Amino acid sequence: MLDGYGVTHVFMVPAILRRTFAELERRHPGIARVATHGEKSAAYMADGYARASGRPGVCAAQVIGALNLAAGLREPYLAASPVVAFTGGRLPATKFRQVYQEVDDMPAFEPVTKFNATVDDVSRFPDMMRQAFRAAVSGTPGPVHLQFRGNEGQVDAEEAEMEPLCEPQFSQVPPFRPEPDQASVLAALAHLAAAERPVIVAGGGVRASGAQADVVALAEALQIPVATSLNGKDTIPGHHPLSVGVVGSYSRESANRVVNRADLVCFIGSESGGMTTHFWAVPPIGTPAIQIDINPEALGRNYPLLAAVNGDAKVTLARMLAGADRAGAGQRKAWIEEVGKICAEWRDKYRAALTSDAVPIRPERICHELSRHLPEDAIVVVDTGHAGMWMGGMYDLTGPRQSYMRSAGHLGWAFPAGLGAKCGCPGRPVVTFTGDAGFWYHIGEVETAVRWNINAVTVVNNNGSGNQSKRGFDRVYGGTQTEGGRSLWTFNKTNFARIAEDMGALGIRVEHASAFPAALARALAADRPAVIDVVTDIDALAPVAVA
Ligand SMILES: Cc1ncc(C[n+]2csc(CCOP(=O)(O)OP(=O)(O)O)c2C)c(N)n1
């Protein structure tokens, strides 16, 4: 059935479903069984695989690792990413008898899954597997969990007559493209036509629907600037004349300024959550809004709506484009000029930092070099914290074939997610951007990458600290931190390039910004995993959001 659903990799820590994994080698050697150094990173790899490929990512753990796996599902749950998780579970004959390694794991999966179920009888394999894949990719996608009877899921050693029927429709996102109600489409168009200063806020639902080009086409037809959430950053290239940047907390100042000047905000595939709206200050609640989403429960949750459109983003945008009155676009010349000025002001303000030759290196400069030198089909994977702020605000995608995936909040996600992304899309270059605190989390997976030839490139913004925390500790220490205060967020100096080399990867240390492009080219050309360890300024703090 894994084969039937197009699964190419399973990420896990043994021992789980031993019989299944043995059968895989015998009958489906094309499915890689990637043993990792922790269940959480296995879940993150499955998540990266899913977000890069649009196909469900599969991960697994035996009963003792189940909660480590559940911890790893928190991120794909927040990011609406289809991950299928398998664990071993208790036996009816021995549960509640202090069996080695066992507790009731099911409740812990409840808040981080869309579907959380036990498979107690071998004959239930096919229908439960189908339901798991169906739930993972449908509507707003998300993680699912199946717990198989037996601490290692030994139910898979039993036999039964079963029909391994698969539904390939549920092997990718989206399985359906629901059409919107035409009246709601016309209402949305009427409000857009009447607005003087409209803006689109495109979210992760645009990625899920593959509707990036459709958003850009509508924006061009109606002359509407486009801001994105972090999760929707690859909706529009950074230098497109209508692109204003990422809006919200980890954002670009121009995007927040434009959204706060708008007289109508059109959310597309965005939950309008706290991060994207800078906790509902950008735009302020009460700003006239319309919203397009596949999930009816998302419509109007945070902003009262003038029009709510329930449907798949791609088919909805095609309908809107067909009905759009392009004549009205000319009326927005003044608004488009104002938006252009706001964007130019942002570029002028940050030009010096983006091109800085300072030693230690400024993170803005790394972002700028990535904008200039990443391949046109690159998948960019970015951690949270400062990494999310630097790249969200300072990095520009250069074309429609580049993809961007970001941590929805969990530090340490990006490095294993980048490895998963490379497994999901082996033909595309994958470049991950992470801080050193983020990289430390799952550094052992460098060995996994080498063992499996997962040739992703990881750029470490190595400032010897988790310096995003600096401002907060400055505040609680009344301005000047004690040495003890600094010990809460600073680390020993570490050469990650050397560690990577020891594990068999290519390690490159970069201490001068001018050396970064050659390092990136070498890493991309290496036929092994690569870590570029960039020594950066511990005092560099990312700009905070403009409200
Ligand atoms: C699982 C988890 N724990 C804690 C945090 C809080 N947090 C956010 S950023 C950060 C430090 C980031 O350090 P690093 O990756 O080195 O990047 P830097 O801030 O130094 O650029 C921490 C601890 C988090 N986001 N996720």
Mean pLDDT of the chain: 97
Tell me, in angstroms, the distance from the centre of ligand 1 to residue 492's CA. Answer: 16
Residue 296 CA, distance from chain mean position: 22
Residue 361 CA, distance from chain mean position: 26
Rounded to whole angstroms, the Cα distance separating 44 from 37 reads: 12
Q: What is the pLDDT of residues 112-144, one digit of tens each?
A: 999 999 999 999 999 999 999 999 999 999 999
Tell me, in angstroms, the distance from the centre of ligand 1 to residue 229's CA. Answer: 20
Tell me, in angstroms, the distance from the centre of ligand 1 to residue 541's CA. Answer: 13
- pLDDT attached to residue 258: 98
Residues in contact with ligand 1 by the CB-under-6-Å rule are: 384-387, 409-411, 435-438, 461, 463, 465-469
Give which of 527, 521, 525 is closest to 505, Cα–Cα.
Answer: 527
Span 336-356, mean pLDDT?
A: 98
How many helices, marked H, and strands, marked E, lie in the chain? Answer: 20, 18
> Cα angle at 10 between 157 and 169, to 5 degrees?
95
Helix (H) or strand (E) holding 268: strand 264-268
Q: Name the 3-class secondary structure at 26.
A: helix
Grade residue 460 by pLDDT with cuts at 50, 70 and 90: very high
Give, rounded to a whole angstrom, the gap between the first and last alpha carbons of the chain.
50
Q: What are phi and psi of 507, to 5 degrees?
A: -115, 130
Residues paired with residue 348 on neighbouring β-strands, in sequence order: none
Q: What is the pLDDT of residues 305-340, one digit of tens each?
A: 999 999 999 999 999 999 998 988 889 999 999 999
- Concatenated DSSP letters for 477-525? TTTS--HHHHTTTB-----HHHHHHHTTSEEEEE-SGGGHHHHHHHHHH
Query: Which residue out of 386, 487, 490, 537 has the highest number of ligand 1 atoms within 8 Å of its CB and is therefore the one to mutate?
Result: 386
Q: What is the pLDDT of residues 241-275, one digit of tens each?
A: 999 999 999 999 999 999 999 999 999 999 999 99
Q: Whose CA is nearest to atom 13 of ligand 1?
A: 466
Q: What is the pLDDT of residues 155-206, one digit of tens each?
A: 999 999 999 899 999 999 999 999 999 999 999 999 999 999 999 999 999 9
- Concatenated DSSP letters for 84-143? EEEEEE--TTTTTS--TT----HHHHGGG-SEEEEE-SGGGHHHHHHHHHHHHHSSS---
Structure tokens at 42: 């296995």
- Of 68-82, 92-106, 496-510, the one with minimum mean pLDDT is 92-106
With contact defined as beta carbons under 8 Å apart, do 86 and 21 qualify? no
For 264, residues 6+ apart whose C-beta sits below 8 A from its C-beta are 191, 192, 194, 195, 197, 198, 199, 287, 288, 289, 290, 306
Rounded to whole angstroms, the Cα distance separating 237 from 352 reads: 22
Tell me, in angstroms, the distance from the centre of ligand 1 to residue 435's CA. Answer: 8
- pLDDT attached to residue 68: 98
Radius of gyration of the chain (CA): 24
- Of 321-330, 432-441, 508-517, the one with minimum mean pLDDT is 321-330
Q: Name the 3-class secondary structure at 458.
A: strand
Instruction: Locate the DSSP E strands across 315-407.
Output: 379-382, 403-406
Span 417-433, mean pLDDT?
A: 98
Q: Is the pTM of this model over 0.75?
A: yes
Give which of 59, 139, 76, 141 is closest to 423, Cα–Cα.
Answer: 59
For 104, residues 6+ apart whose C-beta sits below 8 A from its C-beta are 90
Give percent above pLDDT 90 in the chain. Answer: 98
Span 535-546, mean pLDDT?
A: 96
